[in-house]
């Protein structure tokens, strides 16, 4: 089903991509010092090999697959990749190293999405900035998951141009949040020069 909770290029849009989730892993959620913390019950990294192997990849349509699943099935997905049917999603605890080792040009992907399970730190901003600046990703960069309205303006500044707004939240209010500040002071991905260089005094 097309999702109308998507903002793309500062407009409300329909989502033509199907998200491919990882199966649930052997994890436990606890509270620690007032924060919700995800504890692994095994010594394996996340996602586990079992999760990767059990991920169901739809055979047709445009799909956003986990990075680990793409890497495991890279050879079989090349035809669909060339047809612009394969996009990637990565979690904020993952690094870009495996992706960069696998692909000489990450612009083969029409979309890369970054999944924020719970907002606890600024890694999503760092990932966006790295993809846009150091690694020169030119295509759609999407934020999804626990994306809060007051983060949207800063996600835009970090290079994101697509945001999947959580069900139950007002997508129109989220759209307004992208314009929280009319003329940001610092330089960033979206406007590289600081305001003192842009303004004639």
Q: Would you state the pLDDT for residue 24? A: 85
Under a CB-based contact definition with an 8 Å cutoff, are residues 32 and 19 in contact? Answer: no
CA dihedral (175, 178, 180, 182) positive or negative: negative
* Cα three-residue angle 130-132-133, rounded to 5 degrees: 65
Q: Would you state the pLDDT for residue 10? A: 87
Q: Which of 40, 98, 104 is nearest to 69 (CA)?
A: 98
Distance (Å, rounded) from C-alpha 43 to C-alpha 100? 26
Q: Would you state the pLDDT for residue 89? A: 97
Q: The tokens of 93 are what?
A: 């605890």
Give bridge partners of residue 11 from the DSSP assignment: 8
Rounded to two decimals, the pTM is 0.82
Secondary structure class of 58 (helix, strand, coil):
coil
**Number of residues that this document lists for the chain:** 201
Half-sphere exposure of 62 (CA within 13 A, CB side): 12
Under a CB-based contact definition with an 8 Å cutoff, are residues 132 and 159 in contact? Answer: yes
- Split the chain (201 residues) into runs of 10 and give each run's mean pLDDT: 76 94 71 54 68 95 97 97 97 93 96 90 92 95 92 91 91 85 56 55 58
Q: Would you state the pLDDT for residue 110? A: 98
Within the chain, what is the greatest distance between any pair of CA atoms?
A: 61
Domains of the chain: residue spans and CATH: 6-20+55-198 (3.40.50)
Distances from the Cα of 154 to the Cα of 6, 95, 119, 150, angstroms: 17, 21, 14, 8
Residue 138: burial class (beta carbons within 10 Å; 0-12, 13-18, 19+): exposed
Q: Would you state the pLDDT for residue 189? A: 60
Under a CB-based contact definition with an 8 Å cutoff, are residues 187 and 193 in contact? Answer: yes
Q: Would you state the pLDDT for residue 198? A: 58
181: CB partners within 8 A, 6+ apart? 153
């Amino acid at each position: 089903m097309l999702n109308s909770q998507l903002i793309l290029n500062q407009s409300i849009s329909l989502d033509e991509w199907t998200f491919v989730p990882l199966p649930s892993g052997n994890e436990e959620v606890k509270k620690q010092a007032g924060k919700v913390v995800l504890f692994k019950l095994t010594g394996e990294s996340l996602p586990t090999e079992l999760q990767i192997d059990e991920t169901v990849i739809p055979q047709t349509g445009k799909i956003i697959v986990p990075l680990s699943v793409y890497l495991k099935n890279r050879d079989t997905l090349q035809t669909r990749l060339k047809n612009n049917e394969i996009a990637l999603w990565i979690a904020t605890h993952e690094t870009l190293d495996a992706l960069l080792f696998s692909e000489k040009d990450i612009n083969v992907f029409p979309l890369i999405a970054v999944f924020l399970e719970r907002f606890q730190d600024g890694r999503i901003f760092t990932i966006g900035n790295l993809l846009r600046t150091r690694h020169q990703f030119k295509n759609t960069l999407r934020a999804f998951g626990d994306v809060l309205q007051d983060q949207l303006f800063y996600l835009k500044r970090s290079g994101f141009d697509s945001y999947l707004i959580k069900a139950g939240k007002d997508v129109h209010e989220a759209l307004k949040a992208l314009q929280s500040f009319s003329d940001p002071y610092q330089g960033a991905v979206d406007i590289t020069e600081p305001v003192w260089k842009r303004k004639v005094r």
